[in-house]
A = this chain, B = another copy of it.
């Protein structure tokens, strides 16, 4: 906890914002590349941490970070949901670079009994699981990819690091990729339950809610890991720090306190469903957005 910055975020896009606020006007953030686009009405930020300098400045590992903002979803525009699922699916597919027969394990991280931490397990509920079906009826399910899932629980209720459980399962069933879905902490309340970050750098389970665990990434698991993260909380300490509280006072207010949207139960469900659908679209080639419901 010693060196923990008063303002904390799991979003690379926010880390860059923070850097800019601190930097002098003339400074350039070397080792970081950013592209911002609009896709079907959703703002997409693609940030690449290219080298050790960029990693150090942003406190984020070298790799790619794609952030999609879903404000349109919140405004409940017609067909916003299928459009959002399609955009997200496109980026998941691109980052996974899967061959036709490669297999995927989806890991839902976080505590299903704590609402803002439940987005991982809830997303798994919407994922189309095919591993057992393909084994029994290979022909009928030949057009589907082999997908399995696990909800790893949390250290406090299992006594086992979720990275360890996922690693054990990977050794047993040998998927080619792991998709890890988890709740994140953001700096800004504006992003809560409205943004999804994809990254190929893996995940540190629990980092989003204040307790870092052993990492879940290619090194620890043995296969590439795509992380899908949703900011659901702002640390109360972070909010306090943003508003000018000194470090000690902010820490004091923050102890075990989080800021969430008032309608967090519903927002978490919406985001989980969006992620589950997007994963289904990304993994199974023949699947159309409008059919995705049929299997759930």
A: residues with CB less than 8 A from B are 76, 78, 113-115, 124-125, 129-133, 146-151, 153, 155-160, 164-165, 167-169, 171-173, 189, 192, 209-210, 234, 236, 239-240, 242-245, 249-250, 253, 256-266, 291, 294
Contacts and interface: CB of A to CB of B under 8 A. Distances in A.
19 contacts: A76-B294, A78-B294, A113-B125, A113-B266, A129-B156, A129-B159, A148-B158, A149-B158, A151-B153, A167-B172, A236-B259, A239-B239, A240-B243, A243-B250, A243-B253, A256-B261, A257-B262, A258-B259, A258-B262
A171 B172 CA distance: 10
Contact of A147 (B124, B151, B159): B159
Contacts of A125: 113, 157
A156 B171 contact: no
A249 B242 CA distance: 11
A153 B158 CA distance: 14
A61 B6 CA distance: 40
B115 A265 contact: yes
A240 B241 CA distance: 9
Contacts of A115: 115, 264-265
